[in-house]
């Protein structure tokens, strides 16, 4: 399996509104991000996905997060999204994403959940909540997973600790409140996006 974007960092715009999604997505793309999720518990999330996908779909993988039901997958596809991110391991959602030809990053915590997600067709795994579990836990779980499976750390990831999760075997991370909080100015999003990109590239340079 290979991840489909150049930068394996997923921007999580939880709580973003349709009237502000284009400006923040522009800031992220300008910083180098090419994977962006809009969680379903955001206001008018489908409209935001549609707007972002129309404007940036040729430069970034746009989709939805906190996807809990197969119906949500259908609604996201109708909005033009191509990325499904879940907080949990729910086989019907994973199969719906696979059948639609979407990129999926499926939430799991245990080895049982991780292998159930892969059996259902998950393309990548999201270890959540990584911040509470720590890089040691992620390293132990990664040791029993197929080496080719892309693993992301999500939950509590900052520019300062990103390197620890990359060293534990993750290819990247999903970035939530340390990147974007509802209502913050675009300038703040741009600043945090640059900090994460710098941290990722620095970690990659140190490993080569």
Mean pLDDT, residues 131-149: 96
Q: What is the pLDDT of residues 70-97, one digit of tens each?
A: 999 999 999 999 999 999 999 999 999 9
CATH topology assigned to domain 9-206 = TIM Barrel (3.20.20)
Question: Which positions are annotated as active-site residues?
Answer: 37, 126
Mean pLDDT, residues 45-72: 98
Q: Above 80 in pLDDT, residue 1?
A: no
Q: What is the pLDDT of residue 178?
A: 98
Phi, psi of 185 (to 5 degrees): -70, 155
Higher pLDDT, 204 or 29: 29
Residues 67 and 43 sit within 8 Å (Cβ to Cβ)? no
List the chain domain ranges.
9-206
Mean pLDDT computed over every residue of the chain = 97
Q: What is the pLDDT of residue 205?
A: 86
152/96 Cα distance (integer angstroms): 21
174/183 Cα distance (integer angstroms): 20
pTM of the model: 0.97
Q: Above 70 in pLDDT, residue 208?
A: no
Q: What is the pLDDT of residue 206?
A: 78
| Percent of residues, the chain, with pLDDT higher than 70 | 99
Q: What is the pLDDT of residue 2?
A: 73
């Amino acid at each position: 399996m290979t991840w489909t974007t150049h930068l394996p960092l997923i921007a999580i715009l939880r709580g973003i509104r349709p009237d502000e999604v284009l400006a923040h997505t522009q800031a992220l793309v300008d910083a180098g991000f090419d994977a962006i999720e809009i969680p379903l518990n955001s206001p008018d999330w489908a409209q935001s996905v549609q707007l972002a996908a129309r404007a940036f779909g040729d430069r970034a993988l746009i989709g939805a997060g906190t996807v809990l039901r197969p119906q949500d997958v259908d609604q996201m596809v109708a909005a033009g999204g191509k990325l499904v991110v879940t907080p949990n391991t729910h086989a019907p959602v994973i199969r719906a994403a696979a059948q639609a030809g979407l990129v999926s990053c499926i939430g799991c915590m245990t080895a049982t959940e991780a292998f159930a997600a892969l059996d259902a067709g998950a393309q990548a795994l999201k270890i959540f909540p990584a911040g509470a579990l720590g890089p040691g836990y992620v390293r132990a779980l990664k040791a029993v997973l197929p080496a080719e499976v892309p693993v992301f750390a999500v939950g509590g990831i900052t520019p300062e600790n990103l390197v620890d999760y990359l060293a534990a075997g993750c290819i990247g991370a999903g970035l939530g409140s340390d990147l974007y909080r509802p209502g913050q100015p675009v300038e703040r999003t741009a600043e945090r996006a640059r900090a994460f990109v710098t941290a990722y590239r620095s970690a990659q340079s140190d490993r080569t």
